[in-house]
Amino acid sequence: MTGLRFPTPDLLTRLADRLGPRGFTTDPDLVDTWTTDWRDRVHGRAAALLSPANAEEVAFVLREASAAHVGIVPQGGNSSMVAGATPSADGSQLLLSLRRMNRIRRIAPQDNIAEAEAGVILADLHAAAEDAGRRFPLSLAAKGSATVGGLISTNAGGTQVLRFGTMRALVLGLEAVLPDGSIVEGLTALRKDNRGYDLRQLLIGAEGTLGVVTAASLKLVPAAAQRAVAWVGLEAPEQALAILRRLEQATGEAVESFELVPADALDLVLRHIPDMRAPLERRWPWNVLIEATALADAPPPDEALGLALATAIEDGLAGDATLAASETQAEALWALRENISEAERIDGMAAKHDVAVPVAAMPGFMGRARAAVEARFPGVRALAFGHLGDGNVHFNVRAPADADDRAWFKADGSAVTRFVHDFVAAEGGTLSAEHGIGQTKLADFIRLAEPTRLHAMRAIKQALDPAGIMNPGKLLPLAEADAAQ
Ligand code: MLT
Ligand code: ZN
């Protein structure tokens, strides 16, 4: 790599000419809304905001940027949890928004496929699939802003991974632009294609460091005509896991979400988010939100779920449980889970982590990690919530109750994060289960990653992006020579 540069006025003029007024702006009022990450931790600047209308325009941008050695930061809904779409602070990079490419090109119900452009918002994809009697089975709290391109580039997970997997399992084909401006015409309806290296899987989860995803063929599944949503109160995560295994026995593949919510997280939601109600009479130390679905002609899932939960209560595994009696109640239970991040954000700064260990090890891990972090940093409050069924929790650490959270975060935040990441690495887990590396996990990722993994990743990066223009400083560190001159 040869060092990145600031865009010259000449380059900006060429880009403005090609992209037109809807596709190019340097107006700070329009650019600056997109240069801070969702968590308000990383503040960047951009030389211009580019909003191409199609893959050919993206190709033009990348060709020009490669020739000029100018960094490109692709961005979808800007809901990254790791500042993966935030440009550097020196203002040398170009923000490449895919939001204008927001067409669902086609839905093919017989093939169970949706072909969507990168800027399609997840909630819109859900609605379009539903109109066709199908379902795109990946959902997450940011569904109103997260885009298809961002979900693919981060290999997003969410709350149905248990049954349907992450984006890697749901993308059949990609249209993408490589850094030299060549277009990968990989949209396909094929379920099988065994021709060597899988460029699609390389681009999924690459965090925009190898090219720009412009459209995708996505797997659909039959619409779930019936769903049962339950909220369960219990004493310990071990019991939650035992209930999950029983439910699998009792309902086959019906259970698609199994989300763990500690009392502290529920308290935050009830305190900070309007119109929320406690789902159970008693405050249980732990809660689980369960969703089971069934097709139209299958037996209703609430019968099997209700029966299994009643038995779990009888056997002392669960303390209490409620089954949503209507869609409104089901939505209300989901709102308690989906608002945890927002409530935590309102409450104050926290050191946030996204860790995974083998599923069966998770309850023990949570107990050990909590005891260790609270002993090492007296007064802090660990709060782990999320995707227990995937062995993935967001193990967040909040400031001591009497501390100024911003001052605490500035002083201790990175030491806490380092401690948690070391802890999870020592237990054989990962420091990023679903949020990616971006900027905020980069240092610890590099410090803890296996040398062979890093060597292979650097070789792939060098082969596809020799000028190092794609999302510089995310996922892989900037070499000193690559800081913009
Ligand atoms: C979630 O599971 O709610 C998301 O991954 C968001 C988060 O970790 O804050
Ligand atoms: Zn999550």
The predicted pLDDT at position 2 comes to: 53
Q: What is the pLDDT of residues 137-174, one digit of tens each?
A: 999 999 999 999 999 999 999 999 999 999 999 999 99
Q: In angstroms, what is the C-alpha Rg of the chain? A: 23
Q: Which amino acid is at 121?
A: I
Residues 67 and 108 reside in one and the same domain? no
Specify if 317 maps to a domain.
yes
Q: Which domain holds residue 235?
A: 226-340
Our count of domains for the chain comes to: 4
Q: Which residues contact 390 (CB under 8 A, 6 or more apart)?
A: 157, 161, 162, 356, 359, 433
Integer Cα distance of 187 and 392 in angstroms: 31
Residues 95 and 116 reside in one and the same domain? no
Residues whose Cβ atom is located within 5 A of ion ligand 2: 386
Atom of ligand 1 nearest to the CA of 157: 5
Domain boundary (378, 393, 426) is at 426
- The C-alpha angle with vertex 20 and arms to 16 and 21, in degrees rounded to 5, equals 95
CATH number, domain with residue 82: 3.30.43.10
Q: What is the pLDDT of residues 288-332, one digit of tens each?
A: 999 999 998 888 999 999 999 999 999 999 999 999 999 999 999
* Closest CA relative to residue 391, chosen from 361, 420, 368: 361
Residues 118 and 218 reside in one and the same domain? yes
Q: Does ligand 1 lie within 6 Å of residue 341's CB atom?
A: yes
pLDDT in tens, the chain (485 residues): 458 999 999 999 999 999 999 999 999 999 999 999 988 889 999 999 999 999 999 999 999 999 999 999 999 999 999 999 999 999 999 999 999 999 999 999 999 999 999 999 999 999 999 999 999 999 999 999 999 999 999 999 999 999 999 999 999 999 999 999 999 999 987 888 899 999 999 999 999 999 999 999 999 999 988 999 999 999 999 999 999 999 998 888 899 999 999 999 999 999 999 999 999 999 999 999 999 999 988 889 999 999 999 999 999 999 999 999 999 999 999 999 999 999 999 999 999 999 999 999 999 999 999 999 999 999 999 999 999 999 999 999 999 999 999 999 999 999 999 999 999 999 999 999 999 999 999 999 999 999 999 999 999 999 999 999 999 999 999 875 566 76
Pocket probe for ligand 1: among 39, 161, 340, 395, the residue whose CB has the most ligand atoms within 8 Å is 340
DSSP E strand boundaries for 27-180: 48-50, 72-75, 94-97, 104-108, 113-117, 134-135, 171-177
Atom of ligand 1 nearest to the CA of 158: 2
Q: Dihedral of CA 380/257/340/285: which sign?
A: negative
141 CA distance to ligand 2 middle (Å)? 8
Q: Which residues contact 335 (CB under 8 A, 6 or more apart)?
A: 273, 276
Domain boundary (388, 406, 426) is at 426
The predicted pLDDT at position 482 comes to: 67
Residues 473, 446 contacting (CB under 8 angstroms):
no
Residues 239 and 331 reside in one and the same domain? yes
Residues 281 and 317 reside in one and the same domain? yes
DSSP for 398-420, written as a single string: EPPTTS-HHHHHHHHHHHHHHHH
387 CA distance to ligand 2 middle (Å)? 7
CATH number, domain with residue 121: 3.30.465.10
Q: Encode 139-155: b = buried (16+ Cβ within 10 Å), e = exposed.
A: bbbbbebbbbbbbbbbb
Q: Encode 164-193: b = buried (16+ Cβ within 10 Å), e = exposed.
A: bebbeebbbbbbbbbbbbebbebbeeeeee
CATH number, domain with residue 373: 3.30.70.2740
Q: Does ligand 1 lie within 6 Å of residue 386's CB atom?
A: yes
The predicted pLDDT at position 426 comes to: 97
Q: Which residues contact 291 (CB under 8 A, 6 or more apart)?
A: 159, 227, 228, 229, 230, 255, 256, 257, 330, 334
Q: Does ligand 1 lie within 6 Å of residue 336's CB atom?
A: no
The predicted pLDDT at position 1 comes to: 43
Domain boundary (322, 340, 358) is at 340
394 CA distance to ligand 2 middle (Å)? 7
Residue nearest ligand 1's atom 2 by CA: 386
Q: Which residues contact 391 (CB under 8 A, 6 or more apart)?
A: 356, 357, 358, 359, 360, 361, 362, 433
- The C-alpha angle with vertex 207 and arms to 204 and 209, in degrees rounded to 5, equals 105
Atom of ligand 1 nearest to the CA of 387: 2
35 CA distance to ligand 2 middle (Å)? 23
